[in-house]
Structure 1
Amino acid sequence: MAAAQLSSAPLPYAPPMASPGYGKRSVLGQPPCRAGDFAHLPTREASVAAHIDRLPEGAAIDAKTLARELPAYGQQAVRSALTVLSEAGHLRRVRENAGVGCTRWVFRTYFSRVSHDDLWWARFLSGEVTDVAGPLPPTPVPAPDVHPEPRPAAAARARGGPSPATVMSPAPATSPGPTPRPVTRRPRSEAYDVLASLGRTDPRMTLSAVECAGLEELAGRWLERGATAPQLVLALTAGLPQQVHSPAALARSRLTAKLPPEPLAATAVLLPQRLMECTDCGTPGSPEALPGGLCRICRGGPEGREPDGIGAEEVRARVALLRAIRREGYERSRT
């Protein structure tokens, strides 16, 4: 009976996920979700955008899958809504290689809760922009008080009376002696500490303070070139002879002869190659060639004209002319 009740319980909804590496990708640093995030969009587009925003990373957000999840809209309506969202700056479809030096390409749709222009998307795809949130405003610094409160001693002197310090503190019975000058010591470097610890690792390499100071510069070069403190200790204490007569001379010889090479210059971080796609037809191109995420054909021309410059009225006129020519030829063939 309990098993039957458990089997009849409804399972939690799990949205369809795309193949690993594909599907939805949210841009970083988005602000928290609010009620009016998509109020500037039409009703259909706002509904589709809110649904995509709730989906997890890697979810399938193609037109066919979204149409199955949104019964109110068909595939064509969802495809038109995605086009509007691309023009509004909320999403871009991108194909990029799976990694640096990899020949496998994946297809992803980057979604942003905040709309952005074409320049921002171009910078985002090139790796210049990694965060939507802008810099934090500077912390306001309180203005200094123009009229500060007078100190008690100054106020007493202004009134002509004795200062509170004179009244409260009695005169010392005897004059104090000379104040000792504080001794300032130079902070010890990491290289000096490593040299000073050699005697604890191997008593044969015990160095004095003067010898540590003389070898400090040579040991510092090792640390500058990437050597760690244990590696430096091992280089100075490994393979010692039975008796060491001059630890400082042996340490200087090893620090000079075994100095590691300079590290290679830091190479620039290679980002995966990305190529934007048209949101409607999937034609690849650069961000400059796909304003609004749409190619020239899907974007169309001004005033509803087709890309080749022929308007709707001219198309209907040409079709009517072709029909008239065909009708005339048919009548001539009958006579």
Structure 2
Amino acid sequence: MDTQHDIALAHALTGIPGPLPPAGVIHVAIPHTSRFTVVGNHLAQHTELSLTAIGIGVHIQSLPVGSKVGIKALTARFTEGETRIASALRELETHGYLYRTRVRPAHGRVVTRTVFCNQPGALLRGGATVPPTPVVAAPLPAAARTPVAAPSSVPVPVKPLPVVTPVQVPVGTRGVPVVAAAVPESAPVPEDAHPPVRVPSRTTPKPPRPSLPQPRELTPELRQTSATLLADLRRHAKELVLSEKDVDELIPGVAAWLERDAHPEAIRHALTTELPQPPKYPAKIVRHRLTALLPPQLPGTEDLAPRRRATATPFQTCEGCDRAFRSPHPGHCRDCRAQYGEAA
């Protein structure tokens, strides 16, 4: 008696022609009359995209032109974090659904332009330009049809679009789940309705990562100290669990720090503080910090000592004419010396 039964749903299932499958999903398809988006099965059933990427692709396709679809905007809209949403956007970009380029508009500020393509396969087959495709809704029931005034502009000749009629299912007073009707993969588009839209090229590849610092001479003592410091990181940060292969690859970076007279405690503090939560790739984090935070060489004692300035010759007062002149010893200026020398 505690099992609840939906009378309307049970009544709707009885109206589906043919026997019901013993297992799996059963579709109750009711035609949409407003607020619906046509989504291709190539996206909804993509075998290489994650479920997050498929969901974000469907969400972006349902938004109007000009909506913000950046990582910050999607994070504020959904419960997924920035890392997962950024990964999903990269998946859509890899499979040709999403194009992101950096452009500089007339006002001079660099912005990111995002273009979403609902059929990447058709775009690649038809070239680099695609005209906009009109959205056609399913037909309304006869009772709900109302006459619509013709637009004032000149009508554009459009080829008839095939529409798949969904299965009409009896609906009770309580309603049933709504499922969109099937739509053909491709449909004709109006001829010369709008100028073609240029699709930007794919984003340029990222620059290569900087190489790991290398010491001038990797002595056995430096290697042993570096390996011990790397293996001991997990005692101070439980997230930094490195494999033996990771330790062997990172030893030169720690040795370069030690060669520059960096204290082991200072190296440990630089590698374990303010870690991202959760750290997805501990070895990459350690490698990045060893490369980006490498301290400079310590200056020598001769570089720190102040340089001696050249001693200037002092001024003297001439004993004959009281004129000032430079000389290490008191006496006469040059003119007086010449005069006294001639008199003598």
Q: Shared fold by TM > 0.5?
A: no
TM-score scaled by structure 2? 0.25
TM-score scaled by structure 1? 0.26
Instruction: Answer 1 or 2: which has greater helix percent.
Output: 1
